[in-house]
Amino acid sequence: MKINIGIDLERLRNPNSGLGQFCKYLGENLQDIQQEQANFHFYYPKQYTDIIIGAQPHTVSFFDKLLGVNNKELQLFHCTHQDSHLFPKNTATILTIHDLNFLEKYSSVSKQQQKLKALQQKVNKAKGLTFISQFTKQLAQQHLQFPDVPAEVIYNGNCLNTNATPKKPNTSITGEFLFSIGIVNPKKNFHVLLPLIKHSNYSLVIAGNNTHAYAQEIKTQAAQMGISDRVILLGAVTENEKHWLYQNCKAFVFPSLAEGFGLPVIEAMSLGKPVFLSNKTSLPEVGGELAYYWNNFESNNMVEVLKKGLADFENSPTKNQYLKNWAQQFNWKKTAEDYLKFYSKVYNAL
């Protein structure tokens, strides 16, 4: 008998975000799997009814969010992130936890406890738990009580569309540049990259939503340092533009303070680019021994790590291929297959 499984793809409403990418690639690859074991019911925003095929479509309604999904056909429902509003009423639920970034976001202990309490209530209802990194699982274990249910780490895949034709963004990028990508907010810690530009001839190009006040802080600081012409905040970019930026950058730089996984790291490595990362949260797990790490954000130290790392990369003719090989282990086909196995495991344990 096939299992009827509901999949929450509601975050496709923001397709360029990390959760949007997770929903897009998980949905696409689940529907490509031979489905002797399962019938998938995809729940997604109305505007995406034309991109999901091969599964039973369900447009997310106001009442789904308010009252919970109510579909008597389903045996399992996968809430694909911890902030999902689609918890079903009477269906066994699998919950994926991506991060506990609210512990960094909120300095108020009461606010942290409020968020932990809400997440604990969801965890208590779950019949299976997945995490996108060992770091996220370990952090969750420190702050939450897990029920006696299957709990596994399933890594994300590489989201870079290798079929996309690289296209240079319509902006003045000249000479060699360092590249980073992500929503421009304080947890990304982008401002610590500015001394790398001050003490070099590189430009810094950052792609991603830049409407947060933190983006203006970066621009102001760059102006004070006299490097405004070499610090470029692009805003959101297309897949083709993103591919061009990875392909043409001198190095990928990512000093983030809070990551559940770090998809851009794998994207850059898949093109054989040197990556320079903070040694925080999940990034050492994802970057492995092939990445270069900043152990602190003191300017001289960051400049030295970049200088030595680039010299090491340029003097290691095989490093490029090793990076590509490392990135290959993170692919969405394998991720989807691992989730399908987990669905069966949870169903059999009910």
- Return the CATH superfamily for domain 177-327: Glycogen Phosphorylase B; (3.40.50.2000)
The total number of residues shown for the chain amounts to 350
Question: 3-157+331-349 has which CATH code?
Answer: 3.40.50.2000
In contact, 143 and 109? CB cutoff 8 Å: no
In contact, 304 and 292? CB cutoff 8 Å: no
Stretch 66-74: mean pLDDT, rounded?
A: 77
For residue 224, pLDDT over 90 is answered with yes
How is 239-269 classified by DSSP, letter by letter?
HHHHHHHHHH-SEEEE--S--SS-HHHHHHH
Domain segments of the chain as ranges? 3-157+331-349, 177-327
In contact, 167 and 244? CB cutoff 8 Å: yes
Spatial separation of the C-alpha atoms in residues 231 and 195, rounded to whole Å: 11
Task: Give the tokens for residue 106.
Answer: 């909120």
What pLDDT, on a 0 to 100 scale, did the predictor assign at position 49? 57
Tens digits of residue pLDDT in 329-346? 999 999 999 999 999 999
Tens digits of residue pLDDT in 179-215? 999 999 999 999 999 999 999 999 999 999 999 999 9
Tens digits of residue pLDDT in 117-174? 999 999 999 999 999 999 999 999 999 999 999 999 999 999 898 788 999 998 888 8
Q: Is 255 left (phi over 0), alpha (psi -120 to 50) or beta?
A: alpha
For residue 270, pLDDT over 70 is answered with yes
Closest Cα to residue 22, out of 130, 92, 98, 88? Answer: 98
Do domains 3-157+331-349 and 177-327 share one topology? The answer is yes
Q: Kindly provide the b/e burial profile for residues 54-92, where b requires at least 16 CB atoms within 10 angstroms of the residue's own CB.
A: ebeebebeeebeeebbebeebbbbbbbbbebebbbeebb
